[in-house]
Structure 1
């Protein structure tokens, strides 16, 4: 299953709930951090492309700084994606090969729609909330400036496009209990398909 949603939609909350039901979660964000750790060729290539000021004093990737650069410039974002995506793909393939034959594997990938990856999955689930709720959540939970959040939202697929790519839409604008119930329905559907 491919799981996606815009920044601040609650995609990670859905992934955690699915994991609680027994799904194997493959998290693209986690993998994308892993492939740019200090000492990796990914981090070296990013520093060569964007300069050493995208590194912290400790030599780690300064993700907020890099985000300021790439999320306002589509050409620079494309360069970053060309560095990171092949590495994420290779690591994902490794992890998926390790799953048991009867596992429900959930690939948690923010850019599923943007990269037209829907055809790779048996089911595409989109976590959805209105844009203003996305902004409010990210500002509150991550301390990010509202304009930076909107820039990231604008760099992602439009809400209508994301919803159109979905086999299942999970509305996450309600209570945590509402989300629990909806994820339980999705899990039952996935188990039935499996």
Structure 2
């Protein structure tokens, strides 16, 4: 199997995750800014690999599988870091609940898409505009919160902006998840049989 340029970029994005985690915790001046830069670099590769795959027609089955996995890993790992950094009090509760909503939605929609693909109806569950808006809002919020995760007194206003943006992203997450569910509901509520255990084992 030959790995093309977009897939190399996706693999690079996955490799950046442990780097971001290490930088997030290392006690050196500006570690929060550095962690945010690593996150932004990963987000840029997310856009770039998709652009190159479409522009240069460099698509592959492995790349199509890996790209959404890398995206979800990037968001989930960052949310876990932020939740751990904001334990206690209402800010910690808000962060934890919002993170649970976002990660739960990603798992649910991924399962829905897999089920739709299993019955040959994946095109029914397309990425909607609200999903793209949620992603943009979420990325901006995460960058702000990584930079201000220590909640220094002079930067609390920026931290609260990031917190508010993440809550808005959580609301958009629920909205987009319900949009996907509504699109798939006619099939989910039908009497269509699920794939047999043999089919599932071979998938």
* Superposition TM-score, scaled by structure 2 size: 0.24
Structure number with the higher strand fraction is 1
* Superposition TM-score, scaled by structure 1 size: 0.25
Q: Which has the larger radius of gyration?
A: 2
